[in-house]
Chain A
Amino acid sequence: MLGEYRDSGFKEPPYLARRADGQVLQLPRLLYLVAENADGRRSYGQIAEAVTEQFGRGVSAANVQTLVDSKLRPLGVLAAADGSSLKLTRQNPLLALNFKTAVIPPALVNAVTTLFRPFFWPLVVVVALAGFIALDWWLFFVHGIAQSLRHLVNEPVFFLIVFGLVVLSAALHECGHATACRYGGAHPGVMGVGIYLVWPAFYTDVTDAYRLGKGGRLRTDLGGVYFNALFMLATLGIYLLTHFEVLIAVVLLLQFEMLHQFLPFLRLDGYYVIADLTGVPDIFARMKPVLLSLLPGRKPDPRVTVLKGWVRIVVTAWVVLTVAFILYAYGMMLLHLPTIVGTAWASLLALLGNASAAVQHGQVAIGLFAALQLVLLALPILGLVWMLVRLAQRLVLLAWVRTRGRPLNRATSFLVMAAFALLLALAWIPPPANYQPISPSAHGTIPESFDNAAPVFNDVVRLLPPVRAVLPAASASPAPSGSAAPSPLASPSPAASPDASSSASASPTPSPTPSSSP
């Protein structure tokens, strides 16, 4: 039993408990009190007496038995009288880390946090933050970044050094989370690796940080980027000693990574900062109730009304922005998949050529760099495919289970899914799908992404006469079957996401991540 969830955004603060399998549960106060008093020795009557005193309301033995049988045992908080418990299932949350592999056990993580603990002493934090501000000022207003990038472009072998240091910094980022978690009084768990959406990722299990107050939780969230800042200061120190310009490129790249971490729409540091500032531990789980509560004439969901007024406003704004971001980003990624695949394939061939030429000429470092880029190229594509397969599985399963005994609902669900499958088929089967790399003239702007998706929607309209009747303007579009987009902004090949286009079109080397941002 972990106690009250402190500084919460709820009108009635919830309580936290942790099951034997590590799953953390959020409980209302009454359930928590019953669970806390059910020590296996007391009778229902004795538990009721204790709970009545603590809760301030009359709770009968029958009430306790009902709560135990219908609430606490199904959740796995309490076992049956004979010691048996129900088969426990763990949540599989939306947009969570996949292919998790624990690498460093908790004991070793604990030892590491002991080593790094002094970095969270207040004076050290103040000095480090002042140093980081000075670093940025010096980098962007005094020293500049041109020479470091010139070195990097002229000697691609340095990319290996840069990549190694970026990975090292990412590992230290995790040490920052773990140390901050422990500094606040919680116990960090394992550290490991996994794939987050399409990116390889390091992770640290700081689930125990739920028990901390707002300050401790925020420290845990920001500990990672704080350690990135420390790493940059150390890199700058080495630069001042050696004047090795490539180190400045490392500092520059880490600034981008730091900003990336604050993206609030995925489960990155920025998301946890919002969750902890509002005091709502799982905002993603509130997406559906928040959206349903926005429908006109619909009574707000209790999972929304339990939130404090200002928290409800912030959470609603976050949900609306996140849904818009995810629908746009993933929708465009799916519709532009042929271009992404085409670009990745062209990059793959170029990299293979580079690697073999380098090996033939005995240039091991360049060969290694090309091999590394091949891995970085393959991982996002594999991650994307995995994500699609898993999403399809989940949707089919959900539609099947939720519509049990309701054939009309079941038919509607599968009809909607079939319509989406048709849309994707039209986007992916040539023509109009064009498996060509991103063209040099593509801009990758948001308007262009919509324009390039137009042929797919025109084909849908063409295939479905009833829709054509409703949308005469769309059906009157001069797009002949299999042609490119009729838009004046259309490029010879459809553009992928803005990131993909920018990196591939101006990159001095084939881009390792043709589809970086989802």
Chain B
Amino acid sequence: MAIKQKTEGQLSREELDAQHGEQLPDREQMSLVNANLALPINAAVAANVLSDGSTAYANAIQGTPITQGNL
């Protein structure tokens, strides 16, 4: 039955049209197996914590040329 306009005791077509239901996604709480085991180790190496003496390897680039020779 079509409702043309709001009358006493009932809602208008606009009010009815404004009623929207929506689907909610399932809540799937996840835990990722992102076992990039190298990551913290790299961080630690870069921070020099693994060096027993003074050696550290952390992708360092030698920027200054070194000249070696016998004096």
Contact = CB atoms under 8 A, between A and B. Distances in A.
Contacts of A428: none
Interface residues on A, range: 35 or more
Nearest to A217: B27
Nearest to A170: B31
Question: Which of B3, B21, B30, B40: most chain A Cβ within 10 A?
Answer: B30
Given A199-B33, A205-B26, A506-B57, A511 B38 contact: yes
Interface of A: 16, 22-28, 30-31, 52, 57-60, 62-63, 65-67, 70-72, 75, 77, 90-91, 93, 96-97, 100, 144-146, 149-150, 152-153, 159, 162-163, 166-167, 170-171, 173-174, 177, 194, 196, 199-207, 209-210, 220-221, 224, 249, 252-253, 256-257, 260-261, 267-269, 272, 281-282, 284-285, 302, 376, 440-441, 499, 502-503, 505-509, 511-513, 516
Contacts of A253: 35, 37, 40
What 8 pairs across the A-B complex have the smallest Cβ distances? A60-B10, A58-B9, A173-B31, A93-B25, A170-B31, A507-B38, A177-B29, A199-B32
27 contacts: A16-B24, A26-B24, A31-B21, A58-B8, A60-B9, A67-B19, A72-B21, A96-B25, A153-B50, A159-B37, A174-B29, A177-B29, A207-B26, A210-B24, A253-B35, A267-B30, A268-B30, A272-B27, A272-B29, A284-B25, A441-B61, A499-B36, A502-B42, A505-B59, A506-B59, A508-B45, A516-B34
A97 to B, nearest CB: 5
Contacts of B24: 16, 23-26, 91, 210, 281-282
Given A63-B11, A220-B27, 4 more contacts: A67-B16, A202-B30, A210-B24, A249-B40
A267 to B, nearest CB: 7
A513 B32 contact: no
B41 to A, nearest CB: 6
Contact of A506 (B10, B21, B45): B45
A224 B31 contact: yes
A221 B61 contact: no
Nearest to A77: B21
Nearest to A510: B38
A422 B12 CA distance: 51
Contacts of A509: 38
Contacts of A512: 35-38
Given A25-B23, A57-B11, A91-B23, A149 B30 contact: no
Contact of A203 (B29, B34, B49): B29
A68 B9 CA distance: 18
Contacts of A261: 31-32
Interface SS majority for chain B: loop
Given A163-B37, A201-B32, A513-B36, A62 B3 contact: yes
Contacts of A30: 11, 19
B1 interface: yes
A302 to B, nearest CB: 8
Interface of B: 1, 3, 8-11, 16, 18-42, 44-46, 49-50, 57-59, 61
A303 B44 CA distance: 47
B34 A260 contact: yes
Contacts of A22: 26
A269 B19 contact: no
A71 B13 CA distance: 13
Given A146-B50, A167-B33, A206-B27, A440 B21 contact: no
A6 to B, nearest CB: 14
Given A26-B21, A63-B11, A93-B25, A200 B49 contact: no
A25 B38 CA distance: 43
Nearest to A511: B38
A447 B30 CA distance: 32
B32 A268 contact: yes
A177 B9 CA distance: 47
A285 B44 CA distance: 40
Contacts of A62: 1, 3, 10
Nearest to B49: A146
Given A63-B10, A512-B36, A516-B36, A149 B41 contact: yes
A152 to B, nearest CB: 7
Contacts of B30: 97, 194, 196, 201-203, 267-268
Contact of B34 (A31, A257, A302): A257
A195 B44 CA distance: 29
